[in-house]
Structure 1
Amino acid sequence: MARKTVLITGASRGIGKAVAFKFAKKGYNVVINCLHSEDRLVQVKKELEAYQVSCLSCMGDMGDMDQCQALFEQVRKQFGTLDVLVNNAGISYIGLLQDMSTDAWDRIVRTNLTSVFNCCKLAIPGMVEKKQGKIINISSVWGISGASCEVAYSATKGGINAFTKALAKELAPSNIQVNAVACGAIDTEMNQFLEEDELIALIDEIPSGRLGKAEEVADLVYHLGYKNSYLTGQVIGLDGGWL
């Protein structure tokens, strides 16, 4: 059987890196992308290739359609169409909304939400042609409940949740499933700004009594990308019972 191909955005570290390794271990061709960390992305590529799979690494801003199209053209030339798309690229912003610049707002919307639109728009035609495909969007519990001092981040993740539900209905007749994973507090670099006392207080709020692991997110993403053609349009919480 021909190998399937997965694209993971924001794959140089954290959740995206863990997802890339999960699919590589399962024998997928892996396409990885990030915007800034080229050295890290090159290292991830080397480590993935140790699993005897093909790996294409591409730097670029997926919130920019021209750069996104360039990546998808490379994917088309090397692998053909995608089987699984994992929209993971994301940045955070901590601070009062009244202090946020319009540039910072535009940046987080482009990175977190416009990138999802761009990648889905370009991935869908090939999936529709094959009458199969999986799209998994990495969201957040803050997209469900909202977080003080993270209004822009919450708005983009809430947008992803609505996007997921709507696109799932649009693509279900073509046997393409679209789901999202609403992550809670995951032990990645994005949360390393927390002081020790803040981290302890956060963990005290989580019924499971710990942060989630990137590998646990990867396990769920792989399941969504591999099985169950009837599961679509869902925003699945992975938060240790937090919300």
Structure 2
Amino acid sequence: MAVREESPQYPDRAAARAADLAALDEALTGCRACPRLVAWREETARVRRRAYADEEYWARPVPGLGPSDAGLAVVGLAPAAHGGNRTGRMFTGDRSGDVLFAAMHAEGLASQPTSTARGDGLELYGVRVTAPVHCAPPANKPTTDERLTCRPWLVRELELLRPTLRAVVVLGAFGWQALLPVLADSGRRLPRPLPRFGHGAHVELPGADSAEPPLHLLGCYHVSQQNTFTGRLTPAMLREVLARGAAYAGLRGEA
């Protein structure tokens, strides 16, 4: 039986049916399961920011970005109201994305140092960028219920990436806390006590059996303006974590 996009069960049902990432992304963009987030993303698109007054906002859930055989994933928090919610692409059209993609380009993980709009020519090399919440939340703070409702999308995304995924760089404590139960749901054995977030943190999670390679989990401060403008996260610090993730993923030399 089909489930309407407004139903709280829609993410779970629709994600489970997705046979590949393209189908997952298509189903995700129709989701309306969180009324507060739907209202906020659409109100933001109606009011708009003065600098973007003539643009048509995406105003839908924002899917992940990157190839289906990625060895490295970068997990953030949620789209920005006037960034991904406007452009329809993760970390695109805002200051956080400027920092992230400049660092990714410098490490050979992106074709260009900027990400301004869909169709701008950006390609990612061996990397998938995603988030535990796919709609822009008020004040950049999703509720616990909203995070749980959105979880099936990330669970299925990581399931589809599992044959090639070897490392995950997590931007910020929210993403770290959201990702751990997703990994547990996918059959990864997590250490006890659960690993705590910290910049530079590294956890190696064993595969489901001896034939499956481990998954490397790395923590990095989020690329928010609060962190980058104050120097808490510098471009060099971000590049160092990305380089380690790329190495664990087999995209470059030794970690």
Q: What TM-score results when the alignment is normalised by the length of structure 2? A: 0.38
Between structures 1 and 2, the one with greater strand share: 1
Q: What TM-score results when the alignment is normalised by the length of structure 1? A: 0.39
Between structures 1 and 2, the one with greater helix share: 1
